[in-house]
Amino acid sequence: MDLEAALRQELETRKGAILGLCRDLIRIPTENPPGARYRDCAERLRVELETLGLPPEVIEVPGFSDHPRVNLLSIHGSEGPVVYFHGHYDVVPARDPEQFMPRERDGRLYGRGSADMKAALASMMYAVSLLKDRRGPLRGRIGVCLVADEETGGQGGSAYLDRIGRLGQDAIAMLTPEPTSGVVWNANRGAITLRVTVRGKSAHVGLQHQGINAFEGMLKAAAAVQGLKAEVEQRRTGYRILPEAAAGSILLLGGKVEGGTNFNVVPDACSFTLDRRFNPEETLDAEKERLFALFEEIRRRGIALDVDVLQEGAASGVPDDHPVARTLAQTIADVTGARPEFSMCPGLLETRWYARKGVPAFAYGPGLLELAHGPAESIEVESIFRHTIIYAMTAARLLA
C-alpha cells in the first residue's frame, strides 16, 4: 500500500480523537490579550502529546506572574535534522463567550480558534503520531513546537524560545498552519509599529504665548514622516501578492491619534501611531534606523518627541522553487488534486523566527483567512483531516 493510502486508513481510526481534541482546545478561552488560561491549554496539549507517545518538554517563561506563558516542545526521533511543525494556541479575544462553546453544523466546526489555529494544531500533532506509529524509516526527526503569545508579537512564546536557543534547533524546514485559504505563504512583511508623542507645554488659551503647542509640533513631525512615506511606498516586492496593488511597501500614519484636553487649553502632548510594514526585500534594521534618524532630525528642529516601539518583527521570504517549497507543493497537489499558489502573507508570520536562521519556513493551514479572528470563525471538518495527511506526507518526504 502506498504511503497516502496507509495514512488515510490509519487516520480513519483517529478522526474521533482529533475532533475531540479540537473541541477541548476551543473550550479553553486562551484569549490574547491578556494571555488567559495558557496553563490549562498547555496542560491539555501536554496530555494529548503524552497519549500519542510524543511527550513534550513544558517550557514556562519567567516574569509573567499574572498570566503565565507556557510553551511545549516535542521532538520525535533520535537523531538527524528536524522538520518542525510550529503553531500557536492563543486566540484573539472572542466577540461573544458563546464562541468558546464548539458547535458543529453542515460539516463545519465553529468556535474561536477553530481556523486560527487550534484545529490545525490537532492536524499537526496527529500527523506526527501517524508517522510515528507507521515506524517507517525517517532519516531525521520531527519537532512539534506549540507556543503562546503569537497574536501579540510572540514575547512569551517564540521570542523567548529563540532567546534561550530552543527555537528551530537543527531545523531543515518549518511549517506553520496559519489559515492560508488554500495558498502557501512563502513570505511575509515585517513590521515596525511606533507611537510618536510630541511634547509641549500646557497654557490657557488667553495665555497661549506661555505654552508650547504639541499639536502644531505633531503636524510638523507628521509632515516629515509623510516625506519618508512617499519614498518608501515606491518600493514594490518581487513576491507574489494579491491584490497586486498591495505589493508596495507600507507606512500607515495616524492609525491612532490622541492629544489635548480641551478646546481652550494649549495641548501639552499629542501622539500618533506609525505602522511601517516592509517587504522581504527590506530589512528590519535598515528601516528602523531610517525612521529613528528622521526622528533625530525632527528633534534638531526643536520639536520634543518620544517614541515607543509597540511591536517589531522582521520580514522573511523563501523562493517558491526552493526544494522544500517544491516538496510541499507536490504533496498538496497529490492530496488535493490541485497545485497551490504561493503568495506573500499580508501580516506578520512566525516563519520569521526560523527564516532568519536560514530555515525555509512556510505557512499552509486548513482555515480560511477571511473567517479567522471573526465573529463566526469556523473550519471545514474534512479539511482538518486532509491537512493531517498533507502534513504527514510532507514530513515523510522531506525526511525520506
Is the Cβ of residue 156 or residue 217 nearer to Zn ion in the bound state? 156
User: Closest separation between CB of residue 272 and Zn ion, Å?
Assistant: 28
Residue nearest to Zn ion (CB): 116
Give residues 177-206 in contact with Zn ion (rule: CB under 5 A). Answer: 178
**Residue from 343, 378, 349, 207 nearest 277 by CA:** 349
Give the Cα separation of 340 and 369 in Å (integer): 15
Q: What is the DSSP letter of 340?
A: P
Helix, strand, or coil here: 392? helix
Nearer to Zn ion, 181 or 330 (CB): 181
- Find the part of the chain contacting Zn ion (CB under 5 A) among 51-59, 111-119, 341-349, 353-361: 111-119
Kindly state the smallest distance separating residue 185's Cβ from Zn ion, in Å: 11
Strand partners, 173: 83
Q: Which residue bears the cell 519537532? A: 143
> By CB under 5 A, which span of 12-20, 33-41, 117-125, 205-213 interacts with Zn ion?
117-125
CB of residue 357 to Zn ion, shortest distance in Å: 21
Q: Which of 31, 48, 90, 116 binds Zn ion (CB under 5 A)?
A: 116
Per-residue CA distances from 381 to 114, 135, 297 (Å): 10, 27, 55
156 Cβ contact partners less than 8 Å away, ≥ 6 residues apart:
35, 61, 64, 69, 148, 149
Give the interface size with Zn ion as a residue count (CB under 5 A).
3
Nearer to Zn ion, 34 or 206 (CB): 34
Residue whose CB is less far from Zn ion, 158 or 213:
158
Nearer to Zn ion, 188 or 197 (CB): 188
In the complex with Zn ion, the residue whose CB is nearer, 176 or 197, is 176
Task: In angstroms, give the least distance from the CB of 369 to Zn ion.
Answer: 10
Closest separation between CB of residue 229 and Zn ion, Å? 28
Cα Rg of the chain (Å, integer): 24
Separation CA 174–CA 82 (nearest Å): 9
Sequence letter at residue 44: R
Pick the stretch among 137-145, 171-179, 262-270, 344-352 that binds Zn ion (CB under 5 A): 171-179
Please say which residue, 147 or 266, places its beta carbon nearer to Zn ion.
147
Do 225 and 253 touch, CB atoms closer than 8 A? yes
Cα dihedral across residues 337, 343, 348, 352: positive or negative:
positive
Residues contacting 219, CB < 8 A, separation 6+: none
By the rule CB under 5 A, 350 interacts with Zn ion: no
Candidates 39-47, 167-175, 176-184, 247-255: pick the segment binding Zn ion (CB under 5 A): 176-184
Determine the distance from the C-alpha atom of residue 339 to the mean position of all C-alpha atoms in its chain, rounded to a whole number: 24
Q: Which residues form the interface with Zn ion (CB under 5 A)?
A: 116-117, 178
